[in-house]
Amino acid sequence: MPAVDPAKIRNVAVIGHRGTGKTCLTEAILFTSGAVNRQGTIEQGTTVADYDEDEKKRQLSISASVCHTTWRNRNINIIDTPGDPSFHADTIASLRVVEGALVVVGAPMGLEVQHERLWKQCEENGVSRVIYVNMMDRERADFYAALEQMQEAFGQGAVAAQLPIGKEEDFRGMVDLLTMKAFLYDGGKETEGPVPDDMAAQVDEYREKLMDAVAENDDAVMEKYLEGQELSDEELYHALKAGVVAGTVFPVGVGCATRNTGIDHMLDLIVDAIPSPARRPAVTALDAGGGEEVKVQCDSGEPVAAFVFKTMADQFSGRINVMRVFSGELKSDSNVVNPVNRARERIGQLLRLQGKDNSPVDALGPGDIGAIAKLKGTRTGDSLCADSRQVTFSPLVFPNPVMSFAVEPKSKGDDEKIGTGLKRLQEEDPTLVVQRDPQTNELVVSGLSQMHVEVVMDRIKRRFGAEVNLKPPRVPYLETIRKKAEAQGKYKKQTGGRGQYGDAWLRVEPRSRGEGFEFVDQVVGGVIPRGFIPAVEKGVVEAMKEGELSGHPIVDMRVTVYDGSHHPVDSSEMAFKIAASMGLKKAIENADPVLLEPIMSVHVTIPEENVGDIIGDMNSRRGKVLGMEPKGKMNQVNVEAPLAEMLSYAPDLRSMTGGRGDYTMEFLRYEEVPAHLSQKVIEQER
């Protein structure tokens, strides 16, 4: 199969808030266009896009699914994306490789939090938008209320291209304002007719609004429109596409995906309004050698350059990389270079995806989306290029993980399976962070929510056969001292024959926060032979690993060995190491030891109406509010707060802001735990 002409391709990401029917709409599009012969359902777990066991079990999309179909001689690549913020990584990546987004809004719910975030992502990526108001058959469905909310949030460019006929149980079709025809549906069959008499005035009103918005994008069309002349279909659609490409017009369609109502006209809108890759401006990349900017044109005559936006770990095919070709023609059985890791890759069989299924293709031309299995070292965010022009694309920026759990195997011996599984799943999901805490020695898995981490653990169990327990990670407390103290450590053991003898006097002194450990040798006169001084230091360092208060490491302290004694026969390195350890513990008991806790720098981004609640909540968490700054339509509250108070912040913030709040957190410094809390923490840690 030869490469497809880029002018005949439409790349569309289906985006929206969770529960708006994106996967149902994708399924309806595939069925209406003839790509599948049976329309699957979420309830039965039979949709093309939601094929993963976790998606069927939870009845929501967890990862982006790539599908394809044809309509009016156009090849349409559809990416059904997750709407839940827990699985936002694939949505972010998908918006980097499409020209258009089909924004799905639920008629009963109207505009929701995730719509606003995704709209901003579309703006940043220069993605054209068409809106589909779904679920018109549901109770409380209100197309006009949803349209009004969109116009308030996104401007008057959000204009109705279709109007519903009836609503809720009486929803039976729609009026197309571009063709001025009505379409009624019964059992999936469409009947064309004139505009209903009782809607004539309403249709004229919204047709005029649509024409006003569309005509502004073409001077000739505007002049003709103002003079009252009739516009041809060609002129109308040309001006509509110009407005959608420019980001000034966002046509709004209407229907019901589960009833397969209005899907054919939504497909028409995709073809007529969303630009092809051939109309997309050249993409800016960086020359892999010198770092200069390079313009990558959508042209089959250019050297090949493709961007990998998704990686799937298939248990049969191994790793599958999903990519968008930006220039040139990528062919099966060819060689390319990955400039990111400077490796050569052999392209085997190229694939066109249909959910979990795939079909082989000989080539992928500029603007097309496909996949390749078994590349050696290519990951999400990498590029694949011809030798003659090696470029890298700007990196994908994902949200930072905010929810962490300590992971421990239910069965001994499963550590290796868990480690292998997590490594494979990190390739699929760049927002998953796995690390072993060097202090607590816990394996800590961090994600965007509790559900995100739970899904990862379900996959570990199903794919790799290892079950785990999740628990909140331990806070990495530290200990230090507040005053100077001295003590003798003396180790003497006689067992018959050669004994053990070591004697060291130590002085401990506090250092400033963050200065770390310092060992000083002030022994004079050979009371401790030179060869045993390193053993004294080793004993001190090992004893500092577990403090007396809570068992956490001791930091920011100077330890001086200044006196001692030795035995010419019984003294040994081991004896002085033990003596030093004993002396240090005694000295610290008299040096006013205290517990330190990690303080985090927290930036909370929230709507203005939630600022008071957030500041009050932070005060209750022992947080110190440093100030506030505007971030677009939102406000950012900057806080310093103890990590111990922030472990469960993500669900609390979601609850307080109705899901509209976001935050980032990074380590700042250690501070003393307040006296009234210290003993409680020490008892818990013990």
Give 7-65 pLDDT, tens digit per residue. Answer: 999 999 999 988 899 999 999 999 999 999 999 999 999 999 999 998 999 899 999 99
- Name the one residue in this structure whose structure tokens are 């002349």: 229
- Give the contacts of 113 (CB within 8 A, at least 6 positions apart): 17, 658, 659, 660
pLDDT of residue 632: 66
Give 191-225 pLDDT, tens digit per residue. Answer: 999 999 999 999 999 999 999 899 888 888 888 87
SS3 452: helix
How far CA 133 is from CA of 21, 91, 250, 580, 633, in Å, comes to 10, 20, 12, 74, 25
- 145-149, 605-609, 615-619, range with the lowest pLDDT: 605-609
pLDDT of residue 588: 94
Q: Judge: domain 283-392, CATH 2.40.30.10.
A: yes
pLDDT of residue 278: 94
pLDDT of residue 424: 86
pLDDT of residue 686: 67
Give the long-range contacts of residues 643-646, CB within 8 A, separation 24 or more.
Answer: 643/475, 643/476, 643/597, 643/598, 643/599, 643/600, 643/667, 644/475, 644/597, 644/681, 645/621, 646/600, 646/602, 646/621
Dihedral over Cα of 605, 607, 610, 612: its sign: positive
- C-alpha 602/C-alpha 641 separation (Å) is 7
pLDDT exceeds cutoff 90 at 681: no
Alpha helix segments (H runs only) across 182-232: 200-215, 219-226
CATH architecture under which domain 478-591 falls: 2-Layer Sandwich (3.30)
Structure tokens at 242: 């110009």
pLDDT of residue 385: 96
pLDDT exceeds cutoff 90 at 336: yes
pLDDT exceeds cutoff 80 at 181: yes
The number of residues in the chain equals 686
Q: What phi and psi values does residue 226 have, to the nearest 5 degrees?
A: -65, -30
pLDDT of residue 599: 92
CB 17 within 8 A of CB 87: no
277 pLDDT band (50/70/90 cuts)?
Answer: very high
Every domain of the chain with CATH number 2.40.30.10 lies at 283-392
Every domain of the chain with CATH number 3.30.230.10 lies at 478-591
SS3 331: strand
Give 36-49 pLDDT, tens digit per residue. Answer: 999 999 999 999 99
440 pLDDT band (50/70/90 cuts)?
Answer: confident
- 221-230, 275-284, 345-354, range with the lowest pLDDT: 221-230
Q: Which of 482, 492, 32, 74 is nearest to 255 (CA)?
A: 32
Q: Judge: domain 6-279, CATH 3.40.50.300.
A: yes
Give 625-677 pLDDT, tens digit per residue. Answer: 999 988 766 788 999 999 889 888 888 898 898 877 878 788 888 999 998 88
Every domain of the chain with CATH number 3.30.70.870 lies at 403-471
CB 594 within 8 A of CB 479: yes
- C-alpha 645/C-alpha 619 separation (Å) is 11
pLDDT exceeds cutoff 70 at 596: yes
Every domain of the chain with CATH number 3.30.70.240 lies at 595-685
Helix or strand run (H / E) with residue 179: none
pLDDT of residue 438: 79
pLDDT of residue 317: 65
- Give the contacts of 419 (CB within 8 A, at least 6 positions apart): none
Q: Which of 202, 167, 207, 164 is nearest to 182 (CA)?
A: 164
- C-alpha 660/C-alpha 420 separation (Å) is 35
pLDDT of residue 361: 95
- C-alpha 166/C-alpha 168 separation (Å) is 7
- Give the contacts of 464 (CB within 8 A, at least 6 positions apart): 417, 418, 420, 421, 424
pLDDT of residue 226: 82
- C-alpha 407/C-alpha 458 separation (Å) is 13
pLDDT exceeds cutoff 80 at 314: no
pLDDT of residue 496: 66
92 pLDDT band (50/70/90 cuts)?
Answer: very high
Q: pLDDT higher for 382 or 234? A: 382
The 3 state secondary structure assigned to 579-637 is HHHHHHHHHHHCCCEEEEEEEEEEEEEECHHHHHHHHHHHHHCCCEEEEEEEECCEEEE
Cα-based angle 359, 274, 65 (whole degrees, multiple of 5): 35
Give 481-530 pLDDT, tens digit per residue. Answer: 999 999 999 999 877 667 899 999 999 999 999 899 999 999 998 899 99
pLDDT of residue 497: 67
| Average pLDDT of the chain, as a whole number | 91
- Give the contacts of 592 (CB within 8 A, at least 6 positions apart): 481, 482, 483
CATH architecture under which domain 595-685 falls: 2-Layer Sandwich (3.30)
> Which one of 2.60.40.420, 1.10.3720.10, 3.30.70.870, 3.40.50.300 gives the CATH number of domain 403-471?
3.30.70.870
The amino acid present at 620, given as its one-letter code, is S
pLDDT of residue 654: 85
Helix or strand run (H / E) with residue 2: none
- Name the one residue in this structure whose structure tokens are 């006296």: 675
Burial category of 465 from C-beta neighbours within 10 Å (exposed 0-12, middle 13-18, buried 19 and up): exposed
The amino acid present at 137, given as its one-letter code, is D
Q: pLDDT higher for 306 or 415? A: 306
Burial category of 494 from C-beta neighbours within 10 Å (exposed 0-12, middle 13-18, buried 19 and up): exposed
pLDDT of residue 630: 85
